[in-house]
Structures are given as C-alpha cells and as structure tokens.
Structure 1
Amino acid sequence: MDLRENRRAVIVGLFLAIGLIVFILGVFTLGGQSKSFSKSVHISAVFDDVAGLKKGNNVWFSGVKVGTISDIHFTGPSQVDVKMSVDENSRQYIHDNAQVHIGSDGLIGNKIIVIDGGSPQAPIIREGDILQSAKIVSTDDIIKVVQQNNENLLAITSDFKLLSHKILQGKGTVGTLLADSMMGVQLKQSMHNLQIATQSAAVMANNLNKFSNKLSTKGGFADKLFTDTVTFNKIQGAVAQLKAAADNANILTQNLNKASNKLNSTDNVLGILLNDKASAAKVQTSINNLQQGTVKLNDDLEAAQHNFLLKHFFKERAKAKADSLKNAGKQ
C-alpha cells in the first residue's frame, strides 16, 4: 500500500509541476504579445466615435503591432479619450505630428488603432503626447451612401426607361431620326456636305499657306515692298503723283461744273444763246443780215472797180502788187 500511495503522489506532483510550467510559459507568452513586460511610452488621442473599440485592442504602425490600448474613457460631450501604450523600441519611428484613426483587424475583425504618417523632421513622441485623430467613416455612413446611390440609380433607370420608351415611339429628335428613314438620309447627306466643306476649307487653308509663302519669298514684290526702302519710296512717290492727278482732275471737274452752270444760266452771252430761244433767234437774224450786207458790199466793190472814175486806181493798185510779188520772187 505504501508503495502504491508513493507512486500516486509522484504522479500528482509531476502533473502539478507540468501545469505550473505551462502556466508560467503562458503568462510569459501572453505578456510578450501584449508588451506587458517591456518598457513603453503612453500617448493618447481623442475621438468623437470609437466604433466599438475596446481596452486591450492592438495599436499598429506601418503594418506592425507597436502597442495596446490601455484605457478608454469619456472626456466631454461626444468625446472619447483613448490611451495607448507604445513599445519603447518603436517610439523612435513615430513622430508627434502623426495622425491616428480606427481600423479593423481584417474584414470583420476587432477594432484597432492605426498610426499614420508623421514627417521625419518632427520630434518623436514623448510621454503624455496627444496625437491628432482622423474622423472615421462608420458603417452607418457607408450604408447611407450606398442607399443614396441605390436611389439615384433607381431614378436614372426610371428616366432611361421613359426615354427609351419615347425613342421607340418616335418622339424627340433621336426618336424621329430612328423612325424616319428620310431624315436619316438627309442627315447622311448633311454629313457628306459637311465633309466636302471641311475638305474645301482644308484646300483653301493650303492655298492661303502657299500664298503667304510666296509673299515671304526673298526678292519678291511683297518682300521688296516690306523690306526695300527704295521701292517703297518709289511706290510712295507714285501714290503722291496719283493723288496730285486726282486733285487736278477734281479741280478740272469743278471748273467744268462751273462752266456748265454758267452755260445753263442766262447771265452771259453763251448762256443766252443756249437757253434763250428768242435771243438766239435775234443773233441768228443779225448774222444773216451781216452776211447779206457783206455780199452786197462785195457786189458794190466789184461795181466800183468797173467804174471809169475808179478803174485807173484799181489798175495801179494791181500793178503795184504784181511788181512787189515779182521782186520778192527774184530775191
């Protein structure tokens, strides 16, 4: 009996020793995961909504667990202060201008604190620092946005259904275009005309380009006109002469105008002759009388030459004239 009881006591002792060893290893393992036995720095952040965050949840930085949440409590209306314990070895990588936000450990996992950003120029975090928190998008907000998008999609679908129904009925421009084959032919012809007009515009642009290139050709008229001062001065002189000629023509036109006005008036002889028929008739009568008087005078002179009293005078006169002509022929 004594040997059996001793054996039982040894077995119980072994089980107790193994259990104690397992317990100690578990404590150290859990303590290592929660950083319970490592030196840490305590920081905090204030949130309007922690979305189910709990004490003991993890703190992550750049995808690495760097600490745990040590406490959560209210600090004011709708404000929650979340205190975090960050491993001292990770503190050198986290700067005091970093932001924190609430994330999830996986798709539907526990809520965690995620530390983002921070510039290397800023100081590293110290004991008691309060980091800036970023507003999180809650599930309710996501559901509201999805619901609103569904409503907008339903409205768009309804409008498109109504629009397609009107198009099938031939209403509107698109419906008429689909239902009226003649309109489709006209539209096709319009597009063809537009294409022709576009090609014509391209040809005209090409011709204008060629024309501008000719104008800028060295030694051409346009080049001389714009660059040769001698040619420009000649052209300017020709323009001045043309202007003077135009001025003279204008003066001549004015003088002719004045002469025409005088001829149309009755304050001068020519005007009277041209415009006053009675005066013109009188002048014509006077001219006729003068012509008749001249004829009679010639007849009288012819008769006087044959008069015996004056016949000797005219013979002497004719003889003297003949001698004068003879002497002039000898010289």
Structure 2
Amino acid sequence: MNPQIPRRKAVWLGLFVLVATCITVGGLMATGTLAQALTPRTRVTTTFHDVGGLSKGDAVWYARVPVGRVERVGLGRDGVDVRLALDSGTVARIPGSVEARVGSDGLIGNPIVVLEPGEAHVHGPLVEGDTVPSRPGTSMDELMEELRATNANVLAITGSVRTVTDRMDAGEGTLGRLAHDDVLYEEVRSTLGSLKVASDEASAMARDGRELARDARDVVATVDAATQGETPLGVLVGDRDAGQDLDATIENLEASSETLSENLAAMRDHWLLGGLFTPKAQKREERQARRAARRDAVDPDDAVAGAE
C-alpha cells in the first residue's frame, strides 16, 4: 500500500475544511450574525398585551435607527414578556424614560419594537436589567379597519359626484342650465363683466381715498407743525415775542414811510431840485401853453394891415 495516498487524502480534507470555514465565516460576516454575536449587549425587558407577530431576531428602533434585536418572546403573568438586547455602544444615548411599542418597518413590513420618549422623569440612560414601560401600538387589524372605512367614504363621495354630473348632463340645477342655456350663459357673462367694472371703479375709489387720506395726514402734520411753532407761521402765531417784534417792525416801516414822504415834499418845493419832481404831464402842458402863446402873438404892423 502506497503511504502517500492517506497523506494526500489528509491534505484534501484539510483544504476542504479550510475552505468551508472561510465560506462560513464570510457568510456570517456578510449577514451580520457574527458581528452581532461579538457585539456587547445591554438587556432590558418589557411587557406587551399584543405583540402582533413579533418574534425573536426582530429589530429594535430608537429615533428610526436600529439599536438592537429582540432576544426572547414568551408569555408572562401580565401579558407577553419581551427581552431586548440593545447595542452597548448606543444604549448610553437612550434615556431611561423611553417607552416601547410594537410597530412595523413599513406599511406591511416586519414587526419591530420602537422605543420612544416617555413622560416618566428618569435621569440617566438605560442600564442592564431595566424594565421599559410599554404603550399600545397600531395593529394591522386596526389599519385594515381604517382602510375599509376610508374606502367606503371614497365610494360614497364618488357616488355623490356621479349623481351631480348626471344631473348636470341632464340640464338640471343651476350649473346644468348654465351649461345648456346659451342665453343664461350670456347673461351671467354680462353680469360678471359688470362686476369687473364695478370692482375696477371700487379699486379706483379706494386708491383716491388713500391719496385723500395721505393729503389729510399731510395737512394735519402741517397744522401740528404750525401749532407747535416749527414753521414761520407757527412762530408768528404761537410766539408772543415774535408777534411783538413784527408789530414793532411794521410801526418802524410806517414811521419811515412818513419821514420819506415829508423829505420828498420838501425837495419838490426846493428851487434847485424842484424840477426833478415836477410831473411829466405838468411839464408837457407848460410847453404846449408856451407854444400857443407864441403863435397867438401877432406883429403890430400885421395887425394894422389886416384892419384896412
């Protein structure tokens, strides 16, 4: 018997075992089972009245992030006891006041345990051995019942809409008559045109009213400024000293005017400056009178000859 044959079989057997081991380890790592088995866990418990098909290995979510797995599901004294194995690396970020409910990862997805913030005032994160209070979740039966009710409402609405459209097609009701009667349609169109014109006029009136109100505010502001002495008119009206100064100025002007009149009269009567103040019309009349006197003056010899 050749001794190399058993040795060859042993080599092939070793290679087969090595390849099988590599395939197994690779498969476990690909599915995450090995990583989960090697990850440290923090175990907490909760109790539900209805788990809705929850089973071992289902996911545990917190803030829509997977944080662990369901480790055990079994009947207890007060309901269904569920033990949760949470990742120790993330459990430090989960407050101890959370509550658990059974949900699903989609509309018709797998059941999961959802951890949500609760109302209990518990300080610190979850720790090993904690009992998490539970709240009732929405079961698939309730969702189906709501879906059936919604479908019934949709069918009722669809029937009502169909009834209305049938009456419109038959020319019944206001919309039906409007759709089939051209005269009524033209009347409605004319009415809408009149309403548009009235709306435009109302808009113009409102715009004019806003401008009038703005002008009124400007007038009121001007009057207020005058009343408070912020303008010259306000100073004259509201400031007594300014009024007295104005009266004194007017009196001075009147006195100056009288003095000027007296000076002009004296200069007119002066023999040297009087000609400057003689009116032009008076000078013209005097020149014409002198010319007439010269024409009327007749030589004496000419006068005797004329008499003969």
Query: Partner of 1:198: helix, strand, or coil?
Result: helix
Mapped partners of 2:184, 2:198: distance in 1: 21
Mark the CA change 1:23 to 1:172 in structure 2 (over 3 Å): closer, same or farther.
Answer: closer
Structure 2, unaligned runs of 5 or more: 229-308
Give the total of aligned pairs: 223
Mapped partners of 1:128, 1:143: distance in 2: 36
Mapped partners of 2:110, 2:66: distance in 1: 14
Q: Give the letter for the 1:88 counterpart.
A: S
Provide the TM-score with structure 2 as the length reference. Answer: 0.56
Mapped partners of 2:70, 2:28: distance in 1: 19
Mapped partners of 1:107, 1:204: distance in 2: 58
Other-structure match for 1:269: none
Mark the CA change 1:60 to 1:153 in structure 2 (over 3 Å): closer, same or farther.
Answer: closer
Mapped partners of 2:153, 2:103: distance in 1: 29
Mark the CA change 1:125 to 1:168 in structure 2 (over 3 Å): closer, same or farther.
Answer: same
Mapped partners of 1:23, 1:212: distance in 2: 89
How far 1:43 moved relative to its partner?
Answer: 0.8
Q: Give the letter for the 2:94 counterpart.
A: I
Other-structure match for 1:80: 80
Mapped partners of 1:94, 1:214: distance in 2: 67
Mapped partners of 1:188, 1:95: distance in 2: 67
Question: 1:34 touches 1:68 (CA, 8 Å); kept in 2?
Answer: no
Mapped partners of 2:61, 2:212: distance in 1: 74
Other-structure match for 1:115: 115
* Counterparts of residues 292-311 of structure 1 (less than 5 Å): none
Other-structure match for 2:14: 14
Q: For residues 209-247 of structure 1, what are the alpha-carbon distances to aligned partners after superposition, in whole Å with 9 as ceiling and x for unaligned?
A: 444455455499x959xx69xxxxxxxxxxxxxxxxxxx
User: RMSD value over aligned CA atoms?
Assistant: 4.3
Other-structure match for 1:169: 170
Mapped partners of 1:31, 1:219: distance in 2: 85
How far 1:90 moved relative to its partner?
Answer: 2.6
How far 1:15 moved relative to its partner?
Answer: 7.1
Query: Partner of 1:131: helix, strand, or coil?
Result: coil
Deviates more, 1:48-57 or 1:4-13: 4-13
1:52 and 2:50 aligned:
no
Q: For residues 92-135 of structure 1, what are the alpha-carbon distances to aligned partners after superposition, in whole Å with 9 as ceiling and x for unaligned?
A: 1222123434455678665333435589x941101222234454
Question: 2:168 touches 2:175 (CA, 8 Å); kept in 1?
Answer: yes
Mapped partners of 2:220, 2:25: distance in 1: 103
Other-structure match for 1:299: none
How far 1:10 moved relative to its partner?
Answer: 3.5
Mark the CA change 1:223 to 1:182 in structure 2 (over 3 Å): closer, same or farther.
Answer: farther
Structure 1, unaligned runs of 5 or more: 229-331
Other-structure match for 2:131: 130
* Counterparts of residues 33-44 of structure 1 (less than 5 Å): 33-35=35-37, 37-44=38-45
Q: Give the letter for the 1:73 counterpart.
A: G
Mark the CA change 1:102 to 1:196 in structure 2 (over 3 Å): closer, same or farther.
Answer: same
Deviates more, 1:186-195 or 1:12-21: 12-21
* Counterparts of residues 122-201 of structure 1 (less than 5 Å): 122-201=123-202
Mark the CA change 1:223 to 1:138 in structure 2 (over 3 Å): closer, same or farther.
Answer: same
Question: 2:52 touches 2:139 (CA, 8 Å); kept in 1?
Answer: yes
Mapped partners of 2:138, 2:220: distance in 1: 76
Q: Give the letter for the 2:85 counterpart.
A: S
Q: Give the letter for the 1:40 counterpart.
A: R
How far 1:181 moved relative to its partner?
Answer: 1.6
Question: 1:216 touches 1:223 (CA, 8 Å); kept in 2?
Answer: no
Q: What percent of counterpart residues are identical?
A: 25
Mapped partners of 1:148, 1:210: distance in 2: 58
Mark the CA change 1:59 to 1:200 in structure 2 (over 3 Å): closer, same or farther.
Answer: closer
Mark the CA change 1:110 to 1:149 in structure 2 (over 3 Å): closer, same or farther.
Answer: closer
Mark the CA change 1:217 to 1:180 in structure 2 (over 3 Å): closer, same or farther.
Answer: same
Deviates more, 1:130-139 or 1:159-168: 130-139
